[in-house]
């Protein structure tokens, strides 16, 4: 089961947080909890979800804003891509300082390209980590071949791609990631984006700007 929750960031933008839940055990992952920790915890409680891990597609403030509060409530680990310390440990680099908050994440597990993240309760349920730099240094995609879905963060959007003018962004690196990491997935793969609507590999790979 995949449940999308749109959360409001500093009253200026929306961001997609996702519950990726194993139907058999009602346990799973919370991906990119960007804000509104109370709302996300309420969704989990109402649906009787047990969240085992928080997974981050990258370390920008609008994807990590509720991490510390949720982690304190649930006593669960936080995982993000290699290079994430550049954002997790620095409120200027993750952008939160510009909004008056200084979000710092400590005690984070950093994932490498090709790692597998599985549930403790069901080792057959999980995601593969695909390194996806370009929007940030630490960007990763969480891919499930079984469910034909990829949680792509801000790497690619419906009809667009992530910005590269923030700390650690690089246009050529992002384009390489999209061409060689996203568009090499099966065309039917659903791309669950950090903002806006979902799309598919087939929808995006034939856009003229690529």
CATH, residue 25: 3.60.15.10
- Rounded CA-CA distance 39/34 in Å is 11
pLDDT averaged per 10 residues in sequence order, the chain, 210 residues? 94 93 98 98 98 98 97 98 98 92 93 98 97 98 98 97 96 97 98 98 88
Does any domain span residue 151?
Answer: yes
| 3-state DSSP assignment of residue 86 | helix
Does any domain span residue 210?
Answer: no
Q: What are the helix and strand counts (H, E) for the chain?
A: 6, 14
* Dihedral Cα 137, 194, 34, 140, nearest 10 deg: -30
> pTM higher than 0.95, yes or no?
yes
52 φ/ψ angles, rounded to the nearest 5 degrees: -90, -35
Q: What Å distances lie between residue 121 and 17, 42, 126, CA to CA?
A: 22, 22, 11
| 3-state DSSP assignment of residue 130 | strand
pLDDT of residue 10: 85
Does any domain span residue 86?
Answer: yes
Does any domain span residue 187?
Answer: yes
Number of domains in the chain: 1
* Pairing assessment for the beta strands 27-31 and 50-55 based on DSSP bridges: parallel
- Which has the closest alpha carbon to 141: 149, 159, 153? 153
pLDDT of residue 38: 97
Does any domain span residue 150?
Answer: yes
pLDDT of residue 12: 80
143 burial level (CB within 10 Å; 0-12, 13-18, 19+)? buried
pLDDT of residue 209: 76
- Rounded CA-CA distance 126/119 in Å is 6
Does any domain span residue 198?
Answer: yes
- Rounded CA-CA distance 44/36 in Å is 13
**35 Cβ contact partners less than 8 Å away, ≥ 6 residues apart:** 7, 8, 9, 10, 15, 62, 65, 66
Residue 76 tokens read as 């669960």
pLDDT of residue 103: 95
- Domain region containing 180: 2-205
pLDDT of residue 100: 79
Does any domain span residue 87?
Answer: yes
Does any domain span residue 184?
Answer: yes
**pLDDT-above-90 percentage for the chain:** 94
Q: Residues 140, 57: contact at Cβ < 8 Å?
A: yes
């Amino acid at each position: 089961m995949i449940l999308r929750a749109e959360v409001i960031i500093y009253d200026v933008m929306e961001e997609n947080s996702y519950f990726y839940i194993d139907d058999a055990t009602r346990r799973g992952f919370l991906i990119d909890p960007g804000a509104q920790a109370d709302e996300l915890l309420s969704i989990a409680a109402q649906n009787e979800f047990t969240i085992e891990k928080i997974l981050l597609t990258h370390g920008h403030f609008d994807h990590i804003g509720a991490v510390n509060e949720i982690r304190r409530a649930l006593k669960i680990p936080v995982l993000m891509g290699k290079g994430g310390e550049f954002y997790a440990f620095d409120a200027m680099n993750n952008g939160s300082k510009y909004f008056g908050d200084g979000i710092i994440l400590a005690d984070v597990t950093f994932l490498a390209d090709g790692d597998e993240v599985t549930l403790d309760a069901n080792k057959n349920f999980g995601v593969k980590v695909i390194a996806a730099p370009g929007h940030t240094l630490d960007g990763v995609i969480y891919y499930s071949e079984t469910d034909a879905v990829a949680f792509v963060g801000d790497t690619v959007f419906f009809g667009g791609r992530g910005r590269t003018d923030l700390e650690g962004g690089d246009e050529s690196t992002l384009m390489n990631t999209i061409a060689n990491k996203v568009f090499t997935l099966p065309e039917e793969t659903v791309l669950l984006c950090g903002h806006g609507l979902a799309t598919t590999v087939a929808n995006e790979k034939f856009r003229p700007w690529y």
